[in-house]
Amino acid sequence: MWLKRNLLAKLLLGLLLAVVLPFSLSNLITYQSTSRSVEAQFIELNQKTMDIAMSNVKRYFDELNRLSVSFYFDATLMGYLRSKESTPSEMLYITDQVANLYHNRTDFRAVQFISVFTGQTFTHFDNTQLGNAFPYVGAATPLLRETIDERSYEVIATEREHLLVMHKQIVDYPREDVLGFVSLYIGQKELEKLIKPLSDSSNGEAVFLYLHNDSKLLYTSMEAGKTSREGASVIPRSDGIHATTGSMNGQAGVYISVKDQYLNLPLTLVKFVPDTVINESANRTLQFSLWVQVTSLGIVALVASVLAVRAINPLKRLIRNMAQVESGNFHLARKVTGRMDEIGVLEMRFGHMVGKLDELINKEYRNRLELSTAKLKMLQAQINPHFLYNALQSIGTLALRHRVPEISEKIAALGAILRYSMDFKTEVVPLYKEIGHIEHYLSLQTGRFKNKLSYMLSCTDSSLDIPVPKMMLQPLVENSIVHGIENGNGSGTIHISIELKTELIIRVMDTGKGMDEETLSAIRLEYESRNVNGLEQGGIGLLNVLNRMQLYYGSGFHWEMNSTPYKATIIALYIPIEGNITEGKQV
Residue 330: predicted pLDDT: 67
Classify 287 in phi/psi space as left (phi over 0), alpha (psi -120 to 50) or beta. alpha
Mean pLDDT value across residues 159-169:
86
Residue 389: predicted pLDDT: 60
Band (pLDDT 50/70/90 cuts) for residue 246 is confident
High-pLDDT (> 70) share of the chain, %: 78
Model pLDDT for residues 569-579, shown as the tens digit of each residue: 999 999 998 75
Residues 6+ apart with CB under 8 A from 265: 61, 152, 153, 211, 212
Distance CA 92, CA 126 (A): 19
Residue 415: predicted pLDDT: 75
Beta-sheet pairing, 504-510 with 492-500: antiparallel
Mean pLDDT value across residues 147-169:
79
Asked if pLDDT for residue 496 goes beyond 90, the answer is: yes
Asked if pLDDT for residue 435 goes beyond 80, the answer is: yes
Asked if pLDDT for residue 457 goes beyond 80, the answer is: yes
Best CA proximity match to 337, nearest among 326, 327, 329, 345: 345
Residue 111: predicted pLDDT: 92
**CB-neighbour burial class of residue 565 (10 A; exposed 0-12, middle 13-18, buried 19+):** middle
Which SS3 state, helix, strand or coil, does residue 91 take? helix
Mean pLDDT value across residues 36-46:
82
Residues 6+ apart with CB under 8 A from 138: 121, 123
Distance CA 514, CA 528 (A): 21
Q: Is the Cβ–Cβ distance between 171 and 226 less than 8 Å?
A: no
Residue 578: predicted pLDDT: 73
Q: Is the Cβ–Cβ distance between 125 and 187 less than 8 Å?
A: no
Domain positions in the chain:
423-575
Q: Kindly give the residue spans of alpha helices, DSSP state H, lying in 217-340.
A: 275-326
Which SS3 state, helix, strand or coil, does residue 571 take? strand
CA atoms within 13 A on the CB side of 317: 19
Residue 382: predicted pLDDT: 47
Residues written for the chain: 587
Instruction: Report angle CA 386, 392, 398 to the nearest 5 degrees.
Output: 135
The pTM is what?
A: 0.48
Model pLDDT for residues 522-575, shown as the tens digit of each residue: 888 888 876 655 554 433 578 888 988 888 888 889 999 999 999 999 999 999
Cis peptide before 142 (omega within 30 of 0): no
Sign of dihedral through CA atoms 531, 537, 543, 549? positive
Q: Is the Cβ–Cβ distance between 484 and 491 less than 8 Å?
A: no
**C-alpha to C-alpha distances, 302 to 289, 295, 297, 298, nearest whole angstrom:** 20, 11, 8, 6
Which SS3 state, helix, strand or coil, does residue 533 take? coil
Mean pLDDT value across residues 154-158:
84
**According to the CATH classification, is domain 423-575 in 3.40.50.1370?**
no
Q: Mean pLDDT score of the chain, rounded to an integer?
A: 79
Which SS3 state, helix, strand or coil, does residue 498 take? strand
436-458 residues labelled b (16+ CB within 10 A) or e (exposed):
ebbebbbbebeeeeeeebebeee
Residue 138: predicted pLDDT: 46
Amino acid identity of residue 477, one-letter, is V
Residue 418: predicted pLDDT: 78
Model pLDDT for residues 24-36, shown as the tens digit of each residue: 777 777 777 777 7
Mean pLDDT: which of 214-218, 311-315, 324-328, 426-430 is highest?
Answer: 426-430
Best CA proximity match to 497, nearest among 467, 470, 469, 460: 460
Which SS3 state, helix, strand or coil, does residue 430 take? strand
Distance CA 96, CA 98 (A): 5
Residues 6+ apart with CB under 8 A from 499: 459, 460, 463, 505
Asked if pLDDT for residue 461 goes beyond 90, the answer is: yes
